[in-house]
A and B are shown apart, each in its own frame.
Chain A
Amino acid sequence: MLSSAYDLSFYEFDEENDPKQYGVLLCDVIHGKPPMKPLYIGLGWYWYYHGIRYGAETACLPTSHGWDSRFINGYPYITAIKTTEEERQAREPLFRERIKPFIEDFDGVWSSFKQELMSMYKEAKESRGLKEWEDIRKLSNIDLLTFFLDFAYIINRKEGEVHFIMLMASYYISGLFQQMWQDIFGVEAAVDPNFNKIMAGFESQAIAVVRGLWTLGRRAVELGLRKAFDTEDNEEVIKNLGKSAAGSQWLKEYKEFLLEHGWRCERMHAYDTPAWVEKLSLAIGNIKMLMAEEVFPFDARIRRVIEERKRTTEEVLAKIPEGQKEAFEISMQAAQKSGYWSEDHTYYCDFYIGALGRWIITEFGRRFAEAGCIDAPEDIHFLHPNEIRKAAIPMGRINLRPYVERRKKEWERNLTIEPKPYYGDISQAQSVLKSDPTLAVSTQIPIVREELKADLYGAASAPGLAEGKARVITSVDNLSELEPGEILVAPGTSAPWTVSFNIISGLISDGGGALSHPVIMAREYGIPCVAGCVEGTTKIKTGQRVRVDGDRGVAYILDR
């Protein structure tokens, strides 16, 4: 039986044939929970799935055509489209050629893509005379529609393609280096402290943005505005600042900063949460958290992290047999850059494209609601891109409520459903993951070592030991509950969580592999971390004392 997915027929799940054909389909809980709304599935996620195929076919991955995906109860399930043996043989020589530039100069390839994306976004805004968030209101319906169509079919598509060709290369390179590591040293790289030390000490754009917020915080202190931040309510902070000349000056600088770096929504991979540039109070919490620090916490640690990387690199290289040394070094350098890319790209890809999408869509939501096509602006998230196009011109002639109602009801039902972790035969998961290592972006399996008698086993880690009070936080909205020195226990962390790394002493996350945000950021900040242990947030309660052993990738609950 086919199960419908908000009328997005191409993502329907065939219960009988799909598991047979693919062996197993794994739930992408990392990106798909809470369930995405139909418009995001049909637009942002649509191009990501396209990007994955595009990346796999452009790189000519020998064993995979990219992912196939299905939506079941609103949750995404993924699997690899394996190649046949014949295809593998034909693709190998092409893959060899296409992957080489990334191994030789990963950063060079990424830099030019980065520039391409940024100038595309800039051009999209400037050519329409748009700068600030409110400017979009000035566009006529037809101009708004063409902006939407450019976004939907050109800008988003390009972003998806760049994003995933880079991701493919990044995963193949990083996966390769981990495998090399294991072959040479006989230990899993992802939980080896030496491996983590070698991968650390590269500043990504994610950190650069947090540094910018810290600088703004220090500027506020310098201008004697500290008191204005002394309230829980961040909206109140903005109001307080507006009352004084110094405060208004600071707000002006803050706004300039956001106009450049605030193109990011509160939640990634959704259009239904506000962007920093849209709602000024959003980044205030981050600034509050940082403004007491006289030195940017990252800078305090980075020198040690880099020194340790250099020393460990020398020690490790001394152990590599002569014939393999050059290849090892090249692979290492490419892997370091792949790891750094994992953090760097979010700014240029997920964040920027998400905020642009929200910008246009929110405005359409407002206009549709005003014209009586839908009940409330937020109902736009239950439409499909093509329905928006059809109803936009002339505005107000089409009743979109029947589309919204049905899908909204289904989405609300999906919210209450706990997704099945997989469909099909789970014993085939390893072979599916092996044929397409990029699937590890969305899935991971803990490395259980019973001899360590731990409470939680991670899939990856960042080195060091930390003991302290656990703080379980399941949504980025509650990040302000954190107190300095606590150990953060989270379902996973993504770029919006970055700020917390400045104050926590350790991290335990349910999701995440060696290239995941928690592991990379913890490494950069020199914070012990165990990621991918699946049950952290269910086993640990706030207030319990926990020990994070990042050297071995396990965690212990000390009192129960």
Chain B
Amino acid sequence: MPERYIYWLEELGQEFSPLVGKKCANLGEIARIRLPCPPGFAISVEAYEYFMNETGALQEIKDYLVQFKDGLKTIDQFDEASREIRRIVEGKALPEKLRGEIISCYNDLCEKCEVTEVPVSTRSAGPVSHPGQYETYLNVKGKSELLEKVKKVWSSTFNPRSLSFRTQKGLSLESDPIGVAVVKMVNARTAGVLFTADPNTGDTSKMIIEANWGLGESVVGGEVIPDSYVLDKESLEVVKKTLGQKTRHVCFSETGVTEEETPTDKCSTFCLSDEEIKEIGKLGKILEKHFSAPQDVEWAVDENLPFPQCIILLQSRPVVISSRKSPVDQVVDYMLRQF
């Protein structure tokens, strides 16, 4: 049994990806190089395995899956299996050791943030990324709520789309160990994404920012048309600004988050100032240099902090350049795959 199942972000770095998942490892790397990111901790992949074994959930799932010896096929079967397996997983109490560690870390985090029940986000962090497959819970407050949500993130590895993905890839259905990132929520006035290279053309001399009011979920999810900015990477000057409609935004509710209409005056105003844009770009360049590849960065502007401390990085990963790239870039891509 490992000594512990939880690591503070600042203890981590890229090389910890197999232990805690990519998202946690990358956040750890950001913390390690002292760029601004929220405090938090990572629940290791081993914790998932420990939980599944120790509680007997894994065996129950295996027993349950025996009936589908020809594999899952129909949507109904995926839905049914998902419901049953998630019931099994979420019905299990956390083993005492794990429960103790999570609570102790959460307490420490509250103390660090000087809040009695600090709101956190709980997100999945797979050793290989499965974007959009698993579930995220935002604005989680208090110990019992947190323990519930951690379990739910784990059990989301059995949601219908994950089961169907694993079936398609011929992977084992009975488990898919992941880590969980537990990170303090940023009270975001504005949030969004930054690409340190144009994902559409592959142009690496430009950076693209997309932003909306409130939490970043609306931008990441693609439900609204955000403001967009094109920066010259060298000088960090804004070369193009496009006002988005930004009709809705995501904000905190009592627990969790909610999506609301945006007042019309805010719709017609840019949600970032020029100095904020520059600062985001500057951080992006540091990340790109550090990771040696164009980055897709999630960031937020904290309403409670002064500039420039208010710019907080939430995630960084390599940009996925779309196939609408210039033919020359496509040729180079082809080349890089060959040699």
Residues on A lying within 8 angstroms of B by beta carbon are 61-63, 89-90, 92-93, 95-97, 99-100, 103-104, 172, 175-176, 179-180, 323-324, 326-327, 329-331, 334, 434-435, 437
A90 touching B292 by the CB < 8 A rule? yes
| Interface: B336 (CB within 8 A) | yes
Q: Is the CB of A327 within 8 A of B330?
A: yes
B residues within 8 A CB of A63?
A: 339
The answer to whether B331 touches A176, judged by C-beta atoms less than 8 angstroms apart, is yes
> Which has the most chain A C-beta neighbours within 10 Å: B293, B335, B339?
B339
- In the complex the two chains form, what is the Cα distance from A61 to B339 in whole Å? 9
Residues of B near A330 (CB, < 8 A) are 327-328, 331
12 more contacts with CB within 8 A, not counting A176-B335, A179-B334, A437-B339, are A62-B336, A90-B292, A93-B292, A93-B294, A99-B332, A100-B332, A104-B328, A176-B331, A327-B327, A330-B328, A331-B334, A434-B339
- A321 → chain B closest CB, angstroms: 12
Q: What A residues does B334 contact at CB under 8 A?
A: 176, 179-180, 327, 331
Contact check, B339 vs A175: say whether CB atoms are below 8 A apart.
yes
In the complex, per-residue mask of B284-306: 1 if CB is within 8 Å of any chain A CB, else 0: 00000000111000000000000
| Chain A interface main SS type | helix
What separation, in Å, do the CA atoms of A224 and B331 have in the docked complex?
56
| Chain B 176-215 interface 0/1 with A at a Cβ cutoff of 8 Å (1 = within) | 0000000000000000000000000000100000000000
CA distance A90 to B328 in the complex (A): 21
Choice from A62, A97, A324 contacting B339 with Cβ under 8 Å: A62
The verdict on B338 contacting chain A, using a C-beta distance below 8 Å, is yes
Q: Are B336 and A92 in contact (CB under 8 A)?
A: yes
Expressed in whole angstroms, the Cα–Cα distance for A180 and B338 within the complex equals 9
Instruction: Report yes or no: B339 in contact with A172, Cβ–Cβ below 8 A.
Output: yes
Residues in A whose Cβ lies below 8 Å from that of B338 = 175-176, 179
B104 at the interface (CB under 8 A from A): no
- Total residue contacts A-B, CB cutoff 8 A: 60
Query: Are B335 and A89 in touch, CB under 8 angstroms?
Result: no
- The list of the 3 closest CB pairs from A to B, nearest first, reads A326-B327, A327-B330, A90-B292
Q: Shortest distance in angstroms between A324's beta carbon and chain B's nearest beta carbon?
A: 8
Residues of B within 8 A of A (CB): 204, 292-294, 323, 327-332, 334-336, 338-339
Complex Cα spacing A331 to B338, Å: 14
**Complex interface: chain B residues within 8 A of A95 (CB):** 332, 336
A61 to B332, CA, bound (A): 12
Q: Are A96 and B204 in contact (CB under 8 A)?
A: yes
Chain B residues near A104: list those with CB within 8 A.
328
Q: How far is the CB of A456 from chain B (nearest CB, A)?
A: 28
| Residue in B323, B327, B336, B339 whose beta carbon sits within 8 Å of that of A96 in the complex | B336
When distances are taken between beta carbons in the complex, the residues of chain B under 8 Å from A62 are 336, 339
- Cross-interface CB contact of A100 among B292, B293, B323, B328, cutoff 8 Å: B328
Residue numbers in A under 8 Å from B329 (CB-CB): 96
Residue of chain B at shortest CB distance from A334: B331
Q: In the bound complex, how far is the Cα of B332 from the Cα of A93, in angstroms?
A: 10
Whole-angstrom distance from the CB of B285 to the nearest CB of chain A? 13
Complexed CA–CA distance, A180 and B293 (Å): 25
A99 to B329, CA, bound (A): 10
Q: Looking at the assembled complex, report how far the CB atom of A521 sits from the nearest CB atom of chain B, in whole angstroms.
A: 27
Count chain A CB atoms within 10 A of each CB in B204, B294, B331, B336 and give the residue with the most: B331
Shortest distance from the beta carbon of A399 to any chain B beta carbon, whole Å: 51
Is the Cβ of A96 less than 8 Å from the Cβ of B292? no
B15 to chain A, nearest CB (A): 11
Please measure, in the bound complex, the distance between the C-alpha atom of A89 and the C-alpha atom of B332, giving whole angstroms: 15
Give A73 to B204 CA distance when docked, in angstroms: 49
| Pairs A–B under 8 Å by Cβ, sample size 9 | A62-B339, A89-B292, A92-B292, A99-B335, A100-B332, A103-B328, A103-B332, A330-B327, A330-B331
A550 to chain B, nearest CB (A): 26
Q: Give the residues in chain B near A331, CB-CB below 8 Å.
A: 331, 334
CB proximity of B200 to chain A, nearest CB, Å:
15
- Give B171 Cβ to nearest chain A Cβ, in Å: 25
A96 contacts across to B, CB distance below 8 A: 204, 329, 332, 336
Q: Beyond A89-B293, A99-B332, is A323–B323 a contact (Cβ under 8 Å)? A: yes
With both beta carbons as reference points, the residue of chain B lying nearest to A96 in the complex is identified as: B332
* In-complex Cβ contact of A103 among B293, B331, B336 (8 A): B331
- Could you tell me the distance between the alpha carbons of A391 and B62 in the complex, rounded to whole angstroms? 85
With A62-B336, A62-B339, A63-B339 known to touch, is A92 a contact of B293 (CB < 8 Å)? yes
Give chain A nearest CB distance to B323 CB in angstroms: 7
Nearest chain B residue, comparing its CB with the CB of A436 = B339
Distance between Cα atoms of A82 and B299 in the complex (Å): 38
- Expressed in whole angstroms, the minimum distance between the Cβ of B89 and any Cβ of chain A is 36
Within the complex, the shortest CB–CB distance from A99 to chain B, in Å, comes to 6
Q: Are A93 and B293 in touch, CB under 8 angstroms?
A: yes
Chain B residues near A324 (CB, 8 Å)? 330
B330: chain A residues within 8 A (beta carbon): 324, 326-327
Q: How far is the CA of A180 from the CA of B332 in the complex (A)?
A: 12
Residues of chain A within 8 A (CB-CB) of B204 are: 93, 96-97
Which residues of A sit under 8 angstroms from B336, Cβ to Cβ? 62, 92, 95-96
